Structure 1
Amino acid sequence: MSRGPASLKRRRLVAGMAGLLALPSVLLSRPAQAKFSIIDPLIWSVTKGGQMERGRIRLELPQLADNGNSVAMKVSVASPMTEADHVKAIHLISEKNPVREMASFYIGPRAGRAEIVSRVRLAGSQEVLAIAALSDGSFWYDIADIVVTLSACLDEP
């Protein structure tokens, strides 16, 4: 059985198709740090190099805000809030605000539930990152996109 140029072309085609099929899983498995390279130092200060996973935390911001001075925000974490399994902290990090570390909320098992409702100032359209630090040492994140028509936070600190 001879292996001519047609056989080699088929093998390259099959190998290329396998590589293309694997590409989405490689891209989706990249950590949030790759997406937020400008705020890597803040992410590292929260996680101390620990791996973040998506899920368990939900960051809710409106898709469009007319004014960045006061934007409604809600963060909730799926946690039983027991002594053995609870949320220790929730951190909000901004992609474009002059002060990128927007807020850190420290809570414990006696809080009853891990939920923060507040208003935030945003310096323009951006992505906001929420990180939950749990008592078992794991870190969970969520990202919310928001379009802001009138920016706030334009003064330097």
Structure 2
Amino acid sequence: MDVTSTDHSRRELLRLAALAGLALVVTSGRAEATADEVSAAIAKLYGDKKLESGKVKLDVPEIAENGLVVPITVEVESPMTDADYVKAVHIFADGNPLPNVVSYKFTPACGKAAASTRMRLAQTQNVICIAEMSNGNLHRTSAAIKVTIGGCGG
């Protein structure tokens, strides 16, 4: 058995697989969700239900010097009781490949409807947050974040 030829063909296979993966990444481009796609994603979740303002606080930087790690904190005003609580919070962005960035589920046992994360933003874009209350009401807020150095290779 020739170990050298087996190692060589294994390395060649790995090299070809890596090149194929790279080609897929390069040819797929950087598709970005549009404002219409964000609206469609929201409509898919909630149809034409009225989105009210208020109750939702979205804490994001006005300018993100590095789009790789943009901190986002959302907090929803709610007593978080069995009769009145936040069921879910959804965060959308109109410049990311997928419009729905993250979703959080809450119960009265959480005590507080708040969450923090970091997201990658490739470019300046709008971040939209929707809170779904236990009574079916929806609350919306948004913020524009200016990105000076892209987080997705920009």
Q: Say yes or no: TM over 0.5.
A: yes
* 2:150 corresponds to 1:151: yes
Amino acid at match of 2:102: A
Structure 1 contact 65–149 (Cα < 8 Å) conserved: yes
Amino acid at match of 1:63: E
Q: CA deviation at 1:39?
A: 1.6
Amino acid at match of 1:59: L
Amino acid at match of 2:125: Q
Q: CA deviation at 1:120?
A: 1.1
Amino acid at match of 1:152: G
Structure 2 contact 38–100 (Cα < 8 Å) conserved: no
Tell me which residue corresponds to 2:3.
Answer: none
Q: CA deviation at 1:117?
A: 1.4
Tell me which residue corresponds to 1:122.
Answer: 121
Q: CA deviation at 1:49?
A: 2.1
Q: Say if 1:106 and 1:149 are closer, same or farther in 2 by CA, change over 3 A.
A: same
Moved over 4 A (4+): none
For residues 80-131 of structure 1, what are the alpha-carbon distances to aligned partners after superposition, in whole Å with 9 as ceiling and x for unaligned? 0000100000000001101111000011110000001111111210110000
Count of residue pairs brought into register by the alignment:
120
For 1:129 and 1:154, how far apart are their aligned partners in 2? 23
Q: Which moved more, 1:44-53 or 1:122-131?
A: 44-53
* 2:43 corresponds to 1:44: yes
> Residues 23-34 of structure 1 correspond to what in structure 2 (within 5 A)?
none
* % same residue: 35
In structure 2, list runs of 5 or more residues that go unmatched: 1-34
Q: Say if 1:119 and 1:84 are closer, same or farther in 2 by CA, change over 3 A.
A: same
TM-score after normalising by structure 1: 0.72
In structure 1, list runs of 5 or more residues that go unmatched: 1-35
Indicate the SS of the match to 2:40. helix
> Residues 86-105 of structure 1 correspond to what in structure 2 (within 5 A)?
86-105=85-104
For 2:150 and 2:90, how far apart are their aligned partners in 1? 22
Q: CA deviation at 1:37?
A: 3.2
Structure 1 contact 97–153 (Cα < 8 Å) conserved: no
